Amino acid sequence: MKIATYNVNGVNGRLPVLLKWLKEAQPDVVCLQELKAPQEKFPLEAINDAGYNALWHGQKSWNGVAILAHNIEIKEVGRGLPGDEEDLQSRYIEAMVNDVLICCLYLPNGNPAPGPKFDYKLKWFERLKARSAELLKFNIPVVLAGDFNVMPTELDVYKPERWVKDALFRPETREAFHSLVAQGWTDALRKLYPDERIYTFWDYFRNAYGRDAGLRIDHFLLSPKLEGRLKSAGVDRHVRGWEKTSDHAPVWIEIE
């Protein structure tokens, strides 16, 4: 089963890019982030025509997450990250696909830091860790996939010295990610490529993609039931070079 995660940066504006990539890559399951579309504006017909079922949690102008499955039934488990009933941002959705629990997430950016947005990011991380600990107790195959907005190590960021005060690279953010992984999760790309410089995001400014000045902020975390079933993983970085494309590239794994 090929599972992908892709921050599309606007599902309607980037729809031609998304459909072109789906046809080319043919993933079985896709987690999308940053839909930037209210619930009723999700392009379901086009997604269905491409052969995919869809489950989505939209939000006007910002955020939004979705799970797509190619001719496979999707069974919704929940939407919204537990732990704060007042949090109305559409950043999290869970569904069963082929007996695997897929958790699609879009973690807050947190800038400027320090400040209220950074506080929200860290609190969201704590809620995610609480939920992920619950999921591990179920002893089932679970995938946490999405845009985590964190570069875990210096290997995951071009010129790390320039990012030390950024919310995506501050020590508190990296510590939150590492403590999440320490619960028993496997960072899929790092398991297969422990020493390689891998990026999943390149800014639109200063020719970042052309200079390969990127960040690795889109991740797959696998529960113990899946660690031994990981076959391959990669980044479709060429998609970042397409016209009118997202500033992220699709990331994928294959599991037995």
Residues with catalytic annotation? 106, 147
In the chain, DSSP assigns E strands to 2-7, 29-33, 52-57, 65-70, 75-79, 92-97, 100-106, 142-147, 186-187, 201-202, 214-215, 218-222, 230-235, 251-255
Nearest CA-CA partner of 232 in 254, 250, 199: 254
CA–CA dist 103, 123 (Å, integer)? 18
With beta carbons less than 8 A apart as the criterion, state whether 152 and 171 touch.
no
Neighbours of 166 (CB within 10 A): 17
CA–CA dist 175, 179 (Å, integer)? 6
